[in-house]
Chain A
Amino acid sequence: MRGLLHRGASIGPTLLPHVLCHRSQCTDRSGRDRGTEAPRRPPPGGSMNVFDRTMKRNQKRWAASLQEHDKYDYLRAEVGRRVADRVYDIARYAASTTLDHQRAFTQHLHLRHSVVERFFLMDISENSLRLKRESEMPTHHVLGDEEFLPFKENTFDLVVSSLSLHWINDLPGALRQIQQVLKPDGVFVGAMVGGETLYELRCSLQLAELEREGGFAPHVSPYTAVTDLGNLLGQAGFNMLTVDIDEVQVHYPGMLEVISDLKAMGESNCAWNRKSMLHRDTILAAAAIYKEMYGNEDGSVPATFEILHMIGWKPHRSQAKPARRGSATASFADLSKIGLCSVPAMWFELLHRVLHQGG
Chain B
Amino acid sequence: MSAPNAWSRSRERMRLFPELFSRCAEQAAAYGRCVAAGAPELRREACGREFAALKSCFVAAVMSCSGTRW
Contact = CB atoms under 8 A, between A and B. Distances in A.
B32 A288 contact: yes
Contacts of B36: 289, 292-293
Given A211-B44, A214-B44, A280-B70, A292 B31 contact: yes
A228 B41 CA distance: 30
Interface string A197-233: 0000000000110111110000000000000000000
A100 to B, nearest CB: 29
A292 B54 CA distance: 13
Given A256-B17, A289-B35, A211 B28 contact: no
Interface of A: 207-208, 210-214, 253-254, 256-257, 280-281, 283-285, 287-289, 291-293
Contacts of B31: 285, 288-289, 292
Contacts of B42: 207, 210-211
A287 B44 contact: no
B65 interface: no
A288 B18 contact: no
B6 interface: no
A247 B47 CA distance: 33
B39 interface: yes
B1 to A, nearest CB: 20
Given A210-B44, A292-B29, A293-B32, A256 B18 contact: yes
8 contacts: A210-B44, A211-B42, A212-B44, A280-B70, A281-B51, A288-B27, A292-B31, A293-B36
A143 B49 CA distance: 54
Interface residues of B, number: 27
A289 B42 CA distance: 13
Given A211-B42, A284-B54, A288-B27, 10 more contacts: A207-B40, A212-B45, A253-B18, A256-B14, A283-B17, A287-B17, A287-B21, A291-B25, A291-B28, A291-B29
Given A211-B35, A280-B70, A291-B29, A285 B17 contact: no
B18 A281 contact: no
Interface string B7-18: 000000010011
Contacts of A213: 44
Given A253-B18, A281-B55, A284-B58, A211 B32 contact: no
A137 to B, nearest CB: 40
Contacts of B17: 256, 283, 287
A211 B51 contact: yes
A289 B34 CA distance: 9
A253 B25 CA distance: 13
B46 interface: yes
Given A207-B35, A291-B29, A254 B51 contact: no
Given A207-B35, A207-B39, A254-B18, A288 B54 contact: yes
B9 to A, nearest CB: 14
A300 to B, nearest CB: 12
Nearest to B50: A288
A81 to B, nearest CB: 30
Contacts of A280: 70
B23 interface: no
B59 to A, nearest CB: 10
A63 to B, nearest CB: 15
Contacts of B54: 284-285, 288
Contacts of B47: 211
Contacts of A281: 51, 55
A284 B38 CA distance: 18
A225 to B, nearest CB: 20
